[in-house]
Amino acid sequence: MTVMTEIAVAARNGASRRYPTPDGSLAGIADASLTVLPGQFVGVVGASGSGKSTLLNLVTGIDRPTSGTVTVAGRDVTDLDEDALARWRGAHIGVVFQFPQLIPTLTVAENVMLPMDFLGTRPRKDRLVHARDLLASVGLADQIDKSPRALSGGQQQRVALARALANDPALIAADEPTGNLDSHTGEMILELLKELTRGGTAVLMVTHERELSSLLDRVITIADGRIASDA
């Protein structure tokens, strides 16, 4: 069941990520203050290099903040060690990247089952059934036994979305999930993400597509490593 809390994501206390350079530290994101509620579909936009992906990486724990705190589904993710963070992320956050990153030696269904296998969140006998249900929800019920290589790019991205949902996460963190897709397939992915929010899942999505007002609840604009607006 999706974890329902009053706040799905909170970046507080000047959440920042700085990177060392020969000329001193460089802020990937600085003094971020952000709250995302369950069921919200939030887009993060900005120029290349502005800090969008850094913000998403802080939320998912891929990057550690150099200051401040980040809380997801009621848990401060900044105080977990790497092993605990990996397990916690697998249970509470579904991550979707621009490229599907499927394992080519596994079938489509086996790719979707990986998060369940990693955490043992369901009895082994139930995992394939759940994977089939998830693949049906993204329109791929007839592809479960195929190799990812046999699928189109759009189909692979839908498999990646099904995999991200395997453990019923409180948050989907998506980094340019439609950036490598044709417009029709991209619209399908966005509609699937929107449908998730109706069930209470929060979606935080980095995108270059600003014309998504009919789908997004909010648009956060990042400029020069800072949140410039939250509308």
pLDDT, one tens digit per residue, over 25-38 is 777 888 888 899 99
Q: Which two tokens stand for residue 155?
A: 């189909």
Q: Give the Cα separation of 126 and 58 in Å (integer).
A: 33
Over residues 161-175, the mean pLDDT reads 94
Q: Give the Cα separation of 210 and 44 in Å (integer).
A: 9
Beta bridge partners of 9: 36, 72
pTM of the model: 0.90
- Asked if residue 55 belongs to a domain, the reply is yes
Q: Give the Cα separation of 143 and 42 in Å (integer).
A: 30
212 compared with 81, residue with greater pLDDT: 81
- Asked if residue 90 belongs to a domain, the reply is yes
- Asked if residue 12 belongs to a domain, the reply is no
pLDDT of 71-130, one tens digit each?
888 888 888 888 988 898 999 999 998 889 999 999 999 999 999 999 998 999 999 999
- Asked if residue 204 belongs to a domain, the reply is yes
- Tell me the HSE value of 17 on the side-chain side, using a 13 A CA sphere: 21
- Asked if residue 89 belongs to a domain, the reply is yes
- Asked if residue 117 belongs to a domain, the reply is yes
- Asked if residue 11 belongs to a domain, the reply is no
Say which amino acid occupies 77: V
- Asked if residue 128 belongs to a domain, the reply is yes
DSSP 32: E
CATH code at 81? Answer: 3.40.50.300
106 compared with 19, residue with greater pLDDT: 106
Range of the domain at 129: 39-64+76-230
β-strands 202-206, 171-175: how paired?
A: parallel
Number of domains in the chain: 1
Q: Give the Cα separation of 231 and 88 in Å (integer).
A: 30
Decide if 144 contacts 175 (C-beta within 8 A).
no
